Amino acid sequence: MTEQQKSASRDIPDPRNLSFKKPISAAVLLITTLILIHHGLLQRLRIRSLKGAGYAKDQSYYLDLTYYVDRLHTQLPDVSDISPETITDRVNAINSLCPNPRQKFVMERLVTHLHQVVLETNLTTEEWMTTVQFLTGVGQISTNTRQEFILLSDVMGISALVDSINHPRVGGSTENTVLGPFFTEDAADIPHGGSIASDKEKGIPMLVCGRILDTSGQPIPNAKIETWETDAEGLYDNQYADRQGPDYRGRLRSQEDGSYAFRGIVPIAYPTPGDGPVGDLLKSLGRHGFRPAHLHMMIEAPGFETLITALFPRGDKYLKSDAVFGVKTSLIVDLEDVTSDEEARAKGFESAPFKLLKQDFVLVGQEEAKKARAERAAKMV
């Protein structure tokens, strides 16, 4: 750790354990900086009008902007006449007035490393503009049902890294993996043993069942389970322009004994969307955009960490080269063949054969998870 980092750690109490609980602070800084730079005076009337117009919904943490601007005006560092050697310190100096310790810490590290990349690569103006246009395109193609920024985070390995940092494995708990960009909030509720797939004619039928347990092996009843997968064409329902509603996704609850069961289809490998900026990026890097076959699962229960994970059938050729770095060996599963018509009808299928996927999920208690994160953070200091 450098002296600069040690100094920052003394000034900012346990920044890794803090969070952005007051997002208005960023807006406050932006507003006050614009006022100071563009007008050069304190516009108390305008500031008070912002408060009166309802910009601060939570009065418990609303900052008195008039006082804040008065204080800030006397503390602004000189950021004129910058050079490649001085600009990083100047930017961090003016950002250091941020009242949120965690935001201040993250921004200081972000600015430092971004500037370092620019300096190390001797970034050209054309390359900078290409980056700006690329990010603009990522935003423009994103919609309520397509999140290109999550896809960008996924293919850069950032999603997997954030997930690994925040969800260290505890004992025999089920490992997390990336959420992906295709989760939606509108999944239909299905009964125990119900189906998430509407089309009975396409895909290989599959029954998924098991139990939801804690780390001591005790069942967790009434856990909320969200599951989603592609259809037999390798597309999620929200990739269709004429989507009428949720399909190949569902929401159910675990039983009193922790058991769960639902019907779907055997997942297949598919390419991530290649018609946008992220697809172009992968092509330029000489990378494929395929994900191995997988079934998404998200499980929530009071007192436990939310588990976001996926199951990957063994044998898929993309298991070792997943475009979003989401495969973990413990999540690779075997499917059983069931050929009994009687058993098929008992499970809700019209006839055999069908595939059987048995998998228990082990959730981590919130206190267990908090302790594991603290231990990991201590090792990183």
Give the catalytic positions in this structure: 236, 270, 291, 294, 296
Residue 22 falls in which region: left (phi positive, over 0), alpha (psi -120 to 50) or beta = beta
- What residue type is 360 in one-letter code? D
3-state secondary structure of 217: coil
| 32, 41, 45, 191, 237 from 70: Cα distances, Å | 10, 10, 14, 60, 53
CA gap 50, 27 in Å, rounded: 11
Tokens found for residue 243: 């989507």
Query: CB-based burial of residue 142 (10 Å sphere; 0-12 exposed, 13-18 middle, 19+ buried)?
Result: middle
Tokens found for residue 82: 């910058």
3-state secondary structure of 90: helix
Chain CA centroid to CA 115, Å: 25
CA gap 208, 358 in Å, rounded: 6
**Long-range contacts, stretch 167-171, CB < 8 angstroms, 24+ apart:** 167/305, 167/308, 167/364, 167/369, 168/369, 168/372, 168/373, 168/375, 168/376, 169/372, 170/215, 170/364, 170/368, 170/369, 170/372, 171/215, 171/362
**H-run or E-run covering 228:** strand 224-228
